[in-house]
Structure 1
Protein backbone atom coordinates (compact mmCIF):
# COMPACT_ATOMS: atom_id res chain seq x y z
CA UNK A 1 0.00 0.00 0.00
CA UNK A 2 1.06 3.60 -0.48
CA UNK A 3 2.59 5.29 2.59
CA UNK A 4 -0.12 7.15 4.49
CA UNK A 5 2.09 8.70 7.17
CA UNK A 6 -0.39 7.38 9.70
CA UNK A 7 -0.01 4.65 12.26
CA UNK A 8 -2.09 1.53 11.74
CA UNK A 9 -5.06 1.28 14.07
CA UNK A 10 -6.86 -1.81 15.22
CA UNK A 11 -10.57 -1.15 14.77
CA UNK A 12 -13.24 -3.52 15.93
CA UNK A 13 -16.16 -4.56 13.74
CA UNK A 14 -18.51 -2.24 15.63
CA UNK A 15 -16.26 0.78 15.08
CA UNK A 16 -15.89 -0.03 11.38
CA UNK A 17 -19.66 -0.19 10.96
CA UNK A 18 -20.11 3.10 12.82
CA UNK A 19 -17.41 4.82 10.78
CA UNK A 20 -18.88 3.67 7.48
CA UNK A 21 -22.34 4.82 8.49
CA UNK A 22 -21.23 8.27 9.63
CA UNK A 23 -21.08 11.36 7.47
CA UNK A 24 -18.34 13.22 9.34
CA UNK A 25 -15.40 10.83 9.05
CA UNK A 26 -12.16 12.68 8.44
CA UNK A 27 -9.94 11.60 5.59
CA UNK A 28 -7.16 10.84 8.11
CA UNK A 29 -9.44 8.47 10.04
CA UNK A 30 -10.52 6.96 6.76
CA UNK A 31 -6.95 6.17 5.74
CA UNK A 32 -6.31 4.65 9.15
CA UNK A 33 -9.43 2.53 8.75
CA UNK A 34 -8.29 1.19 5.39
CA UNK A 35 -4.83 0.51 6.79
CA UNK A 36 -6.30 -1.63 9.54
CA UNK A 37 -8.31 -3.92 7.26
CA UNK A 38 -7.08 -6.95 5.38
CA UNK A 39 -9.76 -6.81 2.67
CA UNK A 40 -11.39 -3.38 2.44
CA UNK A 41 -14.37 -3.18 0.10
CA UNK A 42 -15.21 -0.71 -2.66
CA UNK A 43 -17.80 0.76 -0.29
CA UNK A 44 -15.11 1.42 2.32
CA UNK A 45 -12.82 3.03 -0.24
CA UNK A 46 -15.65 5.20 -1.50
CA UNK A 47 -16.33 6.45 2.00
CA UNK A 48 -12.71 7.53 2.35
CA UNK A 49 -12.61 8.97 -1.15
CA UNK A 50 -15.67 11.03 -0.32
CA UNK A 51 -13.93 12.38 2.78
CA UNK A 52 -10.92 13.27 0.61
CA UNK A 53 -13.19 15.09 -1.85
CA UNK A 54 -14.84 17.14 0.89
CA UNK A 55 -11.41 18.07 2.27
CA UNK A 56 -9.79 18.79 -1.08
CA UNK A 57 -7.25 16.02 -0.53
CA UNK A 58 -6.55 15.28 -4.18
CA UNK A 59 -3.29 13.37 -3.70
CA UNK A 60 -4.58 10.60 -1.42
CA UNK A 61 -7.75 10.56 -3.48
CA UNK A 62 -5.79 9.74 -6.64
CA UNK A 63 -3.54 7.10 -5.19
CA UNK A 64 -6.43 5.41 -3.42
CA UNK A 65 -7.84 4.69 -6.88
CA UNK A 66 -4.52 3.11 -7.88
CA UNK A 67 -4.50 1.13 -4.66
CA UNK A 68 -7.97 -0.25 -5.35
CA UNK A 69 -6.82 -1.56 -8.72
CA UNK A 70 -3.68 -3.08 -7.17
CA UNK A 71 -5.90 -4.94 -4.70
CA UNK A 72 -8.09 -6.29 -7.50
CA UNK A 73 -11.02 -3.98 -6.76
CA UNK A 74 -12.93 -2.20 -9.53
CA UNK A 75 -13.50 1.48 -8.69
CA UNK A 76 -17.11 2.37 -9.43
CA UNK A 77 -18.46 5.65 -10.75
CA UNK A 78 -18.58 7.26 -7.31
CA UNK A 79 -14.92 6.37 -6.73
CA UNK A 80 -13.88 8.31 -9.81
CA UNK A 81 -16.23 11.23 -9.19
CA UNK A 82 -14.89 11.77 -5.67
CA UNK A 83 -11.28 11.72 -6.87
CA UNK A 84 -12.05 14.21 -9.65
CA UNK A 85 -13.94 16.44 -7.23
CA UNK A 86 -10.93 16.54 -4.89
CA UNK A 87 -8.73 17.56 -7.83
CA UNK A 88 -11.26 20.17 -8.91
CA UNK A 89 -11.31 22.14 -5.68
CA UNK A 90 -7.51 22.35 -5.65
CA UNK A 91 -7.00 23.33 -9.28
CA UNK A 92 -5.29 20.06 -10.23
CA UNK A 93 -6.62 19.93 -13.77
CA UNK A 94 -3.93 17.56 -15.09
CA UNK A 95 -4.72 15.01 -12.39
CA UNK A 96 -8.47 15.53 -12.90
CA UNK A 97 -8.10 14.78 -16.60
CA UNK A 98 -5.94 11.76 -15.80
CA UNK A 99 -8.67 10.32 -13.58
CA UNK A 100 -11.22 11.23 -16.25
CA UNK A 101 -9.28 9.16 -18.80
CA UNK A 102 -9.43 6.14 -16.45
CA UNK A 103 -13.14 6.73 -16.04
CA UNK A 104 -13.60 6.67 -19.81
CA UNK A 105 -11.65 3.41 -20.09
CA UNK A 106 -13.90 1.90 -17.42
CA UNK A 107 -16.90 3.05 -19.49
CA UNK A 108 -18.61 4.86 -16.64
CA UNK A 109 -21.24 7.51 -17.35
CA UNK A 110 -19.81 10.96 -17.99
CA UNK A 111 -22.20 13.82 -17.25
CA UNK A 112 -22.26 17.52 -16.37
CA UNK A 113 -21.33 16.73 -12.77
CA UNK A 114 -18.10 14.99 -13.75
CA UNK A 115 -17.05 17.61 -16.29
CA UNK A 116 -18.09 20.33 -13.87
CA UNK A 117 -15.38 19.20 -11.45
CA UNK A 118 -12.81 19.07 -14.27
CA UNK A 119 -13.88 22.58 -15.31
CA UNK A 120 -13.56 23.72 -11.70
CA UNK A 121 -9.96 22.49 -11.64
CA UNK A 122 -9.21 24.56 -14.74
CA UNK A 123 -10.91 27.61 -13.25
CA UNK A 124 -9.04 27.40 -9.94
CA UNK A 125 -5.75 26.98 -11.80
CA UNK A 126 -6.58 29.89 -14.10
CA UNK A 127 -6.00 27.74 -17.18
CA UNK A 128 -8.72 29.14 -19.41
CA UNK A 129 -7.56 27.41 -22.59
CA UNK A 130 -7.77 24.05 -20.85
CA UNK A 131 -11.24 25.07 -19.71
CA UNK A 132 -12.22 25.75 -23.32
CA UNK A 133 -11.00 22.29 -24.29
CA UNK A 134 -13.10 20.85 -21.47
CA UNK A 135 -16.13 22.75 -22.76
CA UNK A 136 -15.44 21.46 -26.28
CA UNK A 137 -15.29 17.88 -25.06
CA UNK A 138 -18.53 18.32 -23.15
CA UNK A 139 -20.27 19.61 -26.25
CA UNK A 140 -19.01 16.70 -28.33
CA UNK A 141 -20.85 14.53 -25.81
CA UNK A 142 -23.98 16.71 -26.02
CA UNK A 143 -23.36 18.06 -22.53
CA UNK A 144 -23.72 21.78 -21.79
CA UNK A 145 -21.79 23.76 -19.14
CA UNK A 146 -23.99 25.72 -16.74
CA UNK A 147 -24.16 29.52 -16.59
CA UNK A 148 -21.88 29.73 -13.55
CA UNK A 149 -19.13 27.88 -15.44
CA UNK A 150 -19.60 30.10 -18.47
CA UNK A 151 -19.39 33.26 -16.37
CA UNK A 152 -16.23 32.10 -14.64
CA UNK A 153 -14.69 31.34 -18.01
CA UNK A 154 -15.74 34.72 -19.42
CA UNK A 155 -14.25 36.51 -16.43
CA UNK A 156 -11.05 34.49 -16.57
CA UNK A 157 -10.57 35.13 -20.27
CA UNK A 158 -11.08 38.83 -19.66
CA UNK A 159 -8.44 38.88 -16.95
CA UNK A 160 -5.99 37.22 -19.32
CA UNK A 161 -6.71 39.73 -22.08
CA UNK A 162 -8.52 37.14 -24.19
CA UNK A 163 -11.38 39.47 -25.12
CA UNK A 164 -12.30 37.59 -28.30
CA UNK A 165 -12.71 34.37 -26.36
CA UNK A 166 -14.71 36.12 -23.64
CA UNK A 167 -17.06 37.58 -26.23
CA UNK A 168 -17.44 34.29 -28.10
CA UNK A 169 -18.38 32.53 -24.86
CA UNK A 170 -21.31 34.91 -24.32
CA UNK A 171 -22.59 34.19 -27.82
CA UNK A 172 -21.90 30.47 -27.51
CA UNK A 173 -23.80 30.18 -24.24
CA UNK A 174 -26.81 31.86 -25.80
CA UNK A 175 -26.69 29.60 -28.86
CA UNK A 176 -26.74 26.55 -26.58
CA UNK A 177 -29.80 27.64 -24.65
CA UNK A 178 -27.90 29.07 -21.66
CA UNK A 179 -29.24 32.61 -21.38
CA UNK A 180 -26.47 35.09 -20.48
CA UNK A 181 -27.29 37.25 -17.46
CA UNK A 182 -26.06 40.67 -16.38
CA UNK A 183 -22.88 39.14 -14.96
CA UNK A 184 -22.10 37.47 -18.31
CA UNK A 185 -22.39 40.74 -20.22
CA UNK A 186 -20.62 42.75 -17.55
CA UNK A 187 -17.59 40.45 -17.53
CA UNK A 188 -17.39 40.45 -21.33
CA UNK A 189 -17.78 44.22 -21.43
CA UNK A 190 -14.94 44.67 -18.95
CA UNK A 191 -12.75 42.52 -21.19
CA UNK A 192 -13.62 44.74 -24.18
CA UNK A 193 -13.07 47.90 -22.15
CA UNK A 194 -9.66 46.67 -21.07
CA UNK A 195 -8.76 45.91 -24.69
CA UNK A 196 -10.12 49.27 -25.94
CA UNK A 197 -12.56 47.58 -28.33
CA UNK A 198 -15.09 50.38 -28.85
CA UNK A 199 -17.05 48.92 -31.77
CA UNK A 200 -17.30 45.49 -30.17
CA UNK A 201 -18.39 47.04 -26.89
CA UNK A 202 -21.14 49.06 -28.55
CA UNK A 203 -22.30 45.97 -30.46
CA UNK A 204 -22.40 43.93 -27.23
CA UNK A 205 -24.38 46.72 -25.58
CA UNK A 206 -27.01 46.52 -28.32
CA UNK A 207 -27.09 42.71 -28.07
CA UNK A 208 -27.61 43.00 -24.34
CA UNK A 209 -30.50 45.43 -24.76
CA UNK A 210 -32.11 43.21 -27.39
CA UNK A 211 -31.94 40.33 -24.92
CA UNK A 212 -33.85 42.42 -22.39
CA UNK A 213 -30.93 42.81 -19.97
CA UNK A 214 -30.54 46.37 -18.67
CA UNK A 215 -26.94 47.61 -18.95
CA UNK A 216 -26.85 49.90 -15.92
CA UNK A 217 -24.95 53.16 -15.63
CA UNK A 218 -21.49 51.70 -15.00
CA UNK A 219 -21.59 49.64 -18.17
CA UNK A 220 -23.00 52.53 -20.19
CA UNK A 221 -20.19 54.65 -18.82
CA UNK A 222 -17.59 52.14 -20.02
CA UNK A 223 -19.02 52.11 -23.54
CA UNK A 224 -19.36 55.90 -23.60
CA UNK A 225 -15.71 56.25 -22.59
CA UNK A 226 -14.56 53.84 -25.31
CA UNK A 227 -16.60 55.61 -27.98
CA UNK A 228 -15.25 58.99 -26.91
CA UNK A 229 -11.65 57.73 -26.94
CA UNK A 230 -12.21 56.20 -30.39
CA UNK A 231 -13.48 59.53 -31.71
CA UNK A 232 -17.04 58.29 -32.17
CA UNK A 233 -18.65 61.44 -30.81
CA UNK A 234 -22.16 60.60 -32.03
CA UNK A 235 -22.32 57.31 -30.14
CA UNK A 236 -20.72 58.82 -27.06
CA UNK A 237 -23.32 61.60 -26.95
CA UNK A 238 -26.12 59.11 -27.57
CA UNK A 239 -25.04 57.15 -24.49
CA UNK A 240 -24.83 60.34 -22.42
CA UNK A 241 -28.42 61.10 -23.40
CA UNK A 242 -29.41 57.57 -22.44
CA UNK A 243 -27.78 58.05 -19.05
CA UNK A 244 -29.66 61.32 -18.60
CA UNK A 245 -32.99 59.77 -19.64
CA UNK A 246 -32.51 57.17 -16.97
CA UNK A 247 -31.91 59.81 -14.36
CA UNK A 248 -28.31 58.66 -14.07
CA UNK A 249 -25.23 60.79 -13.93
CA UNK A 250 -22.27 59.60 -16.00
CA UNK A 251 -19.30 58.71 -13.82
CA UNK A 252 -21.28 57.59 -10.78
CA UNK A 253 -20.44 54.13 -9.55
CA UNK A 254 -23.09 51.48 -9.79
CA UNK A 255 -23.91 49.32 -6.81
CA UNK A 256 -24.37 45.64 -7.62
Structure 2
Protein backbone atom coordinates (compact mmCIF):
# COMPACT_ATOMS: atom_id res chain seq x y z
CA UNK A 1 0.00 0.00 0.00
CA UNK A 2 1.35 3.42 -0.93
CA UNK A 3 2.06 5.96 1.76
CA UNK A 4 -0.77 8.45 2.02
CA UNK A 5 -3.35 6.28 0.24
CA UNK A 6 -6.89 6.10 1.58
CA UNK A 7 -7.58 3.46 4.21
CA UNK A 8 -11.16 2.38 4.88
CA UNK A 9 -11.88 3.33 8.49
CA UNK A 10 -15.32 2.43 9.81
CA UNK A 11 -17.12 5.37 11.39
CA UNK A 12 -20.12 4.28 13.37
CA UNK A 13 -22.17 7.24 14.57
CA UNK A 14 -23.82 5.09 17.21
CA UNK A 15 -20.56 3.88 18.72
CA UNK A 16 -20.05 4.92 22.32
CA UNK A 17 -16.54 6.33 22.12
CA UNK A 18 -16.17 6.46 25.89
CA UNK A 19 -16.80 2.73 26.06
CA UNK A 20 -14.17 2.10 23.39
CA UNK A 21 -11.74 4.31 25.28
CA UNK A 22 -12.09 2.06 28.32
CA UNK A 23 -11.21 -0.90 26.11
CA UNK A 24 -7.96 0.82 25.21
CA UNK A 25 -6.63 0.84 28.75
CA UNK A 26 -2.84 0.22 28.71
CA UNK A 27 -3.40 -3.18 30.34
CA UNK A 28 -5.48 -4.27 27.34
CA UNK A 29 -3.72 -2.51 24.48
CA UNK A 30 -1.56 -5.52 23.60
CA UNK A 31 -4.56 -7.62 22.65
CA UNK A 32 -4.42 -8.27 18.92
CA UNK A 33 -7.98 -7.09 18.19
CA UNK A 34 -7.73 -3.73 19.97
CA UNK A 35 -6.60 -1.93 16.84
CA UNK A 36 -10.14 -2.05 15.43
CA UNK A 37 -11.57 -0.49 18.58
CA UNK A 38 -8.81 2.11 18.49
CA UNK A 39 -9.70 3.09 14.92
CA UNK A 40 -13.37 3.36 15.84
CA UNK A 41 -12.54 5.58 18.78
CA UNK A 42 -10.36 7.81 16.63
CA UNK A 43 -13.04 8.04 13.94
CA UNK A 44 -15.66 8.99 16.52
CA UNK A 45 -13.45 11.72 17.92
CA UNK A 46 -12.75 13.09 14.44
CA UNK A 47 -16.48 13.29 13.71
CA UNK A 48 -17.96 14.30 17.06
CA UNK A 49 -15.02 15.64 19.07
CA UNK A 50 -13.03 16.22 21.06
CA UNK A 51 -10.36 16.65 18.43
CA UNK A 52 -7.81 13.83 18.80
CA UNK A 53 -4.39 14.89 20.04
CA UNK A 54 -0.97 13.44 19.28
CA UNK A 55 -1.23 11.14 22.29
CA UNK A 56 -4.47 9.65 20.93
CA UNK A 57 -2.86 8.95 17.57
CA UNK A 58 0.16 7.44 19.29
CA UNK A 59 -2.07 5.09 21.28
CA UNK A 60 -3.91 4.05 18.13
CA UNK A 61 -0.66 3.38 16.26
CA UNK A 62 0.59 1.27 19.18
CA UNK A 63 -2.64 -0.71 19.01
CA UNK A 64 -1.92 -1.34 15.32
CA UNK A 65 1.50 -2.59 16.34
CA UNK A 66 -0.08 -5.15 18.68
CA UNK A 67 -2.41 -6.24 15.88
CA UNK A 68 0.30 -6.53 13.19
CA UNK A 69 -1.36 -3.73 11.23
CA UNK A 70 1.72 -1.84 10.10
CA UNK A 71 0.03 -0.52 6.93
CA UNK A 72 -2.78 0.98 9.00
CA UNK A 73 -0.20 2.58 11.29
CA UNK A 74 1.44 4.22 8.27
CA UNK A 75 -1.89 5.54 7.03
CA UNK A 76 -2.57 7.10 10.43
CA UNK A 77 0.84 8.73 10.34
CA UNK A 78 0.19 10.04 6.82
CA UNK A 79 -3.16 11.43 7.96
CA UNK A 80 -1.45 13.34 10.75
CA UNK A 81 1.04 14.79 8.27
CA UNK A 82 -1.80 15.94 6.00
CA UNK A 83 -4.37 17.19 8.50
CA UNK A 84 -2.69 17.42 11.88
CA UNK A 85 -1.92 17.23 14.64
CA UNK A 86 1.67 17.01 13.53
CA UNK A 87 3.35 13.76 14.55
CA UNK A 88 6.07 13.88 17.18
CA UNK A 89 9.14 11.78 17.86
CA UNK A 90 7.07 9.27 19.86
CA UNK A 91 4.66 8.93 16.94
CA UNK A 92 7.44 7.94 14.57
CA UNK A 93 8.88 5.61 17.16
CA UNK A 94 5.51 3.83 17.48
CA UNK A 95 5.19 3.56 13.69
CA UNK A 96 8.72 2.16 13.36
CA UNK A 97 7.98 -0.42 16.04
CA UNK A 98 4.91 -1.45 14.07
CA UNK A 99 7.03 -1.86 10.94
CA UNK A 100 9.66 -3.81 12.82
CA UNK A 101 7.05 -6.09 14.34
CA UNK A 102 6.00 -7.04 10.80
CA UNK A 103 9.56 -7.26 9.44
CA UNK A 104 9.28 -4.10 7.36
CA UNK A 105 12.79 -2.90 8.14
CA UNK A 106 13.20 -0.82 4.97
CA UNK A 107 10.01 1.12 5.73
CA UNK A 108 11.26 1.75 9.26
CA UNK A 109 14.40 3.32 7.80
CA UNK A 110 12.28 5.50 5.54
CA UNK A 111 10.42 6.75 8.60
CA UNK A 112 13.70 7.53 10.33
CA UNK A 113 14.74 9.67 7.36
CA UNK A 114 11.27 11.22 7.08
CA UNK A 115 11.21 12.47 10.64
CA UNK A 116 14.45 14.34 10.01
CA UNK A 117 12.89 15.96 6.95
CA UNK A 118 10.12 17.24 9.24
CA UNK A 119 12.65 18.75 11.62
CA UNK A 120 12.41 16.04 14.28
CA UNK A 121 15.60 14.72 15.83
CA UNK A 122 15.76 10.96 16.41
CA UNK A 123 16.55 9.95 19.98
CA UNK A 124 17.96 6.66 21.35
CA UNK A 125 14.48 5.14 21.47
CA UNK A 126 13.72 5.85 17.81
CA UNK A 127 17.09 4.44 16.78
CA UNK A 128 16.39 1.39 18.91
CA UNK A 129 13.07 0.88 17.10
CA UNK A 130 14.81 1.09 13.72
CA UNK A 131 17.61 -1.23 14.84
CA UNK A 132 15.10 -3.76 16.18
CA UNK A 133 13.35 -3.74 12.81
CA UNK A 134 16.65 -4.54 11.08
CA UNK A 135 17.57 -7.21 13.60
CA UNK A 136 14.27 -9.03 13.08
CA UNK A 137 15.21 -9.41 9.41
CA UNK A 138 18.85 -10.28 10.19
CA UNK A 139 20.04 -7.08 8.54
CA UNK A 140 23.10 -6.95 10.77
CA UNK A 141 25.09 -4.62 8.53
CA UNK A 142 22.34 -2.00 8.50
CA UNK A 143 21.90 -2.29 12.27
CA UNK A 144 25.61 -1.66 12.77
CA UNK A 145 25.44 1.38 10.49
CA UNK A 146 22.59 2.77 12.59
CA UNK A 147 24.59 2.17 15.76
CA UNK A 148 27.54 4.09 14.31
CA UNK A 149 25.19 6.85 13.18
CA UNK A 150 23.82 7.18 16.70
CA UNK A 151 27.27 7.73 18.10
CA UNK A 152 28.12 10.24 15.37
CA UNK A 153 25.11 12.29 16.48
CA UNK A 154 26.23 12.16 20.09
CA UNK A 155 23.54 9.69 21.17
CA UNK A 156 24.46 6.99 23.67
CA UNK A 157 23.02 3.55 22.83
CA UNK A 158 21.35 1.84 25.76
CA UNK A 159 21.99 -1.79 26.80
CA UNK A 160 18.83 -2.95 25.00
CA UNK A 161 20.20 -1.60 21.72
CA UNK A 162 23.43 -3.52 22.14
CA UNK A 163 21.54 -6.64 23.20
CA UNK A 164 19.42 -6.52 20.04
CA UNK A 165 22.43 -6.23 17.73
CA UNK A 166 24.39 -8.90 19.61
CA UNK A 167 21.40 -11.19 19.18
CA UNK A 168 21.62 -10.58 15.43
CA UNK A 169 25.32 -11.45 15.57
CA UNK A 170 24.32 -14.86 16.87
CA UNK A 171 21.81 -15.35 14.07
CA UNK A 172 24.40 -14.31 11.49
CA UNK A 173 27.26 -16.21 13.21
CA UNK A 174 29.38 -13.10 13.61
CA UNK A 175 31.12 -13.93 16.89
CA UNK A 176 33.94 -11.41 16.40
CA UNK A 177 31.44 -8.57 15.91
CA UNK A 178 29.61 -9.65 19.07
CA UNK A 179 32.87 -9.41 21.02
CA UNK A 180 33.55 -5.96 19.59
CA UNK A 181 30.12 -4.77 20.69
CA UNK A 182 30.65 -6.20 24.16
CA UNK A 183 33.95 -4.34 24.43
CA UNK A 184 32.28 -1.17 23.18
CA UNK A 185 29.67 -1.43 25.92
CA UNK A 186 32.38 -1.68 28.56
CA UNK A 187 34.17 1.38 27.18
CA UNK A 188 30.92 3.31 27.50
CA UNK A 189 30.54 2.10 31.10
CA UNK A 190 27.42 0.09 30.28
CA UNK A 191 27.14 -3.00 32.46
CA UNK A 192 26.41 -6.18 30.45
CA UNK A 193 24.03 -8.49 32.29
CA UNK A 194 24.12 -12.28 32.45
CA UNK A 195 21.66 -12.68 29.56
CA UNK A 196 23.77 -10.51 27.29
CA UNK A 197 26.90 -12.48 28.18
CA UNK A 198 24.96 -15.65 27.48
CA UNK A 199 24.07 -14.38 24.01
CA UNK A 200 27.72 -13.63 23.19
CA UNK A 201 28.81 -16.97 24.64
CA UNK A 202 26.27 -18.88 22.55
CA UNK A 203 27.53 -17.13 19.43
CA UNK A 204 31.12 -18.10 20.26
CA UNK A 205 30.14 -21.70 21.04
CA UNK A 206 28.53 -22.00 17.61
CA UNK A 207 31.80 -20.76 16.11
CA UNK A 208 33.78 -23.21 18.33
CA UNK A 209 35.75 -20.38 19.90
CA UNK A 210 36.03 -22.19 23.22
CA UNK A 211 38.99 -20.25 24.60
CA UNK A 212 36.91 -17.12 24.23
CA UNK A 213 33.88 -18.89 25.72
CA UNK A 214 35.59 -19.71 29.00
CA UNK A 215 37.12 -16.26 29.24
CA UNK A 216 33.63 -14.79 28.87
CA UNK A 217 32.29 -17.15 31.51
CA UNK A 218 34.88 -15.88 33.96
CA UNK A 219 33.98 -12.27 33.17
CA UNK A 220 30.26 -12.99 33.49
CA UNK A 221 30.85 -14.72 36.81
CA UNK A 222 32.63 -11.65 38.18
CA UNK A 223 29.95 -9.26 36.93
CA UNK A 224 27.18 -11.47 38.29
CA UNK A 225 28.78 -11.43 41.72
CA UNK A 226 29.03 -7.64 41.57
CA UNK A 227 25.36 -7.26 40.68
CA UNK A 228 22.13 -8.62 42.10
CA UNK A 229 21.96 -11.38 39.47
CA UNK A 230 22.73 -14.92 40.68
CA UNK A 231 26.09 -16.20 39.48
CA UNK A 232 24.75 -19.78 39.59
CA UNK A 233 23.11 -19.10 36.20
CA UNK A 234 26.54 -18.66 34.65
CA UNK A 235 27.89 -21.73 36.44
CA UNK A 236 25.01 -23.93 35.29
CA UNK A 237 25.58 -22.95 31.67
CA UNK A 238 29.29 -23.59 32.01
CA UNK A 239 28.57 -27.11 33.25
CA UNK A 240 26.20 -27.61 30.33
CA UNK A 241 28.86 -26.70 27.77
CA UNK A 242 31.37 -28.96 29.51
CA UNK A 243 28.88 -31.82 29.36
CA UNK A 244 28.62 -31.21 25.62
CA UNK A 245 32.33 -31.86 25.31
CA UNK A 246 33.14 -28.32 24.27
CA UNK A 247 36.25 -27.89 26.39
Specify if TM > 0.5. Answer: yes
1:51 to 51, 55, 60: 60
Aligned mates of 1:160, 1:145 — CA distance in 2: 21
RMSD, aligned α-carbons: 3.5
- State the SS of the aligned residue for 2:13: coil
Aligned mates of 1:54, 1:147 — CA distance in 2: 26
How far off its partner does 1:141 sit? 2.3
* Residue 206 to residue 128, structure 1, CA distance change in 2 (3 Å): same
Aligned mates of 1:210, 1:24 — CA distance in 2: 44
1:86 aligns with 98
Can you give the 5+ residue segments of structure 2 that lack an aligned partner in the other structure?
26-33, 226-230
1:28 to 36, 40, 48: 36
2:168 aligns with 156
Can you give the 5+ residue segments of structure 1 that lack an aligned partner in the other structure?
228-256
Aligned mates of 1:21, 1:7 — CA distance in 2: 16
How far off its partner does 1:47 sit? 1.6
Q: Deviations over 1:110-164 (max 9, x none)?
A: 2222222222222333333322222222222232333233233323312321111
* Residue 82 to residue 186, structure 1, CA distance change in 2 (3 Å): closer
Instruction: Name the count of aligned residue pairs.
Output: 224
**Structure number with larger C-alpha Rg:** 1
TM-score where L is the length of structure 2:
0.71
* Residue 19 to residue 61, structure 1, CA distance change in 2 (3 Å): farther
Native 8 Å contact 2:127 2:146 kept in 1: yes
For the pair 1:3 / 2:22, whether they are aligned, the reply is: no
1:216 to 235, 239, 242: 235
Q: Deviations over 1:186-221 (max 9, x none)?
A: 221221121112333344345445656554143266
Higher relative contact order (CA 8 A, sep 6+): 2
TM-score where L is the length of structure 1:
0.69
* Residue 205 to residue 42, structure 1, CA distance change in 2 (3 Å): same
1:147 aligns with 159
- State the SS of the aligned residue for 2:213: helix
Aligned mates of 2:186, 2:51 — CA distance in 1: 42
How far off its partner does 1:20 sit? 9.4
Counting only pairs closer than 5 Å after superposition, residues 1-256 of structure 1 correspond to structure 2 as 2-10=5-13, 18=18, 24=24, 26-32=34-40, 33-34=42-43, 37=46, 43-44=52-53, 46-56=55-65, 57-71=69-83, 74-208=86-220, 211=223, 214=231, 215-219=234-238, 222=241, 225-227=245-247
